[in-house]
Amino acid sequence: MKTRLVVLTLAIAAALAPTAAVAAPPARVIRIGLLDILAPKFDPAANPIDRALVEGLQEYGYVIGRNVVLEFRSADGHPDRLPPLAAELVAAKVEMIITKVTAPTLAAKAATQTIPIIMLGAADPVLTGIVASLPRPGGNITGLAYNAAEISAKRVQLLQEAVPKLSRVGVLWNSSFKAMALGFQHIEQAAPALGATIQSIRVSGSRDFDQAFTAMTQTRPDGLIVLFGPMRGDDLPRIVEFVAKNRIPTVFELDRGVKGGGLMEFGPSFTRQARRVGGYVDKIANGARPADLPVEEPSEFEIVINLKAAKTLGLTIPQSLLLRADRVVE
């Protein structure tokens, strides 16, 4: 059963829903930039988000290699590379830029105030200064985002339901990113009402993980929330291995953690959001202004529970929580 936290407004649905006859894509070839912070390459065959992005574009008649030239740039896990990469896309004279998550969106915003930017999976775009508001973003940016405050509070609640007598919750977060800092603040605000105290386990990059793991070994939180910021490709496996080995009940973001032995995942489906990027591309390619296209937030969030990990941890997941799960890993 899906967990509903945000309901799309009629204005957003109307702005993005295809009309009875979807406008034909431009006869000319259009050049689209894609700015990523982590993935080393654009790989629809292996990356579900890239595949969903391609499929969403194709629904509106946009086919990469036929009427779309894709200019892909990735920071390969190094945030400091984002500004020059964004400048490269501007110099390449792309007609619009698709950005994955918050940091690339901020880099693209700094690089251009005229080229339309479609964000994918950005956290709290109003609080981070990306747009003026969700219904009327203004400027040259629109797209798909999510409300980190609601998600953060829910992750604490999920841990509380799964772990009896939960009192101390560790939060592993990357202080190099404004969105991560906001996420941590939201958890701090939500925890007291749920009877939990927060242990901040802050890192600023991959080099800090050994120290973070040592801190958790010494203080041992009752549960852990991982705010997985853009880091190196091997960082997530290291985190999953550590929490599994040390038997720490952990909630990860969606599609990050359960596969390697984590207890739970919770969050929006970025794959589902990626399919909807095609609607924004089509609107903008046919003359719509980003300033007039409402930012869309997900209406559904998914819960994934790993029963094998629960058994290893000596936990019995309540039936009420299992019934709300979208996927249960046996």
Q: Are residues 278 and 224 in the same domain?
A: no
Q: Which two tokens stand for residue 48?
A: 């579900």
DSSP H/E element including 56: helix 48-59
Do 196 and 124 share a domain, yes or no?
A: no
Question: Do residue 277 and residue 287 come from a single domain?
Answer: yes
CA 83 – CA 35 distance, rounded (Å): 10
Cα(152)–Cα(173) distance, integer angstroms: 12
Percent of the chain residues past pLDDT 70, beyond the cut: 91
- The span from the CA of 258 to the CA of 262, in Å, is 4
What pTM does this model have? 0.86
C-alpha to C-alpha distance for 132 and 137, rounded to whole angstroms? 5
Using one digit for the tens of pLDDT, what is the confidence trace for 11-46?
A: 444 445 444 345 677 778 999 999 999 888 999 999
Same domain for 257 and 240: yes
Residue 231 — very low, low, confident or very high, per pLDDT cuts 50/70/90?
A: low
User: Could you report the per-residue pLDDT of 123-139, keeping only the tens digit for each?
Assistant: 899 989 999 999 999 99
Assigned domain for 5 exists = no
Radius of gyration of the chain (CA): 20
Predicted confidence (pLDDT) per residue in 66-83, tens digit: 999 999 999 988 889 999
- Shared domain for 107 and 156, answered yes or no, is no
> Are 320 and 191 part of one and the same domain?
yes
115 contact partners, CB below 8 Å, separation of at least 6: 90, 94, 95, 96, 97, 140
- Report pLDDT for 283: 96
Question: Which pLDDT score is estimated for 278?
Answer: 97
By residue range, what is the domain housing residue 186? 149-267+302-329
Q: Is residue 1 part of a domain?
A: no
Same-domain pairing of 32 and 136: yes
Kindly state whether residue 57 falls inside one of the protein's structural domains.
yes
What order do you get walking across the sheet with 96-100 strand by strand? Answer: 68-74, 30-36, 96-100, 117-123, 141-146
Question: How many domains are there within the chain?
Answer: 2
User: Are 173 and 41 in the same domain?
Assistant: no
| pLDDT over 50 at 2, yes or no | no
DSSP codes of every residue in 58-80: HHTT--BTTTEEEEEEE-TT-GG
Residue 240 domain-assigned (yes or no): yes
Query: How far apart are alpha carbons 39 and 76 in whole angstroms?
Result: 6
- Nearest-angstrom CA–CA distance, 75 and 287: 30
pLDDT of residue 23: 61
pLDDT at 284 over 90: yes
Q: Could you tell me if 34 and 92 lie in one domain?
A: yes
Asked if residue 38 and residue 127 are part of one domain, the reply reads yes
> Which class for 78: exposed (0-12), middle (13-18), buried (19 or more C-beta within 10 A)?
middle
Closest CA to 75 of 51, 100, 44: 100
What CATH number is associated with residue 243? 3.40.50.2300
User: Does 178 share its domain with 201?
Assistant: yes
In a domain, 223, yes or no: yes
Average the pLDDT over each of 10-19, 51-60, 262-271, 296-305 and give the range with the smallest value: 10-19
Amino acid at the residue 48: P
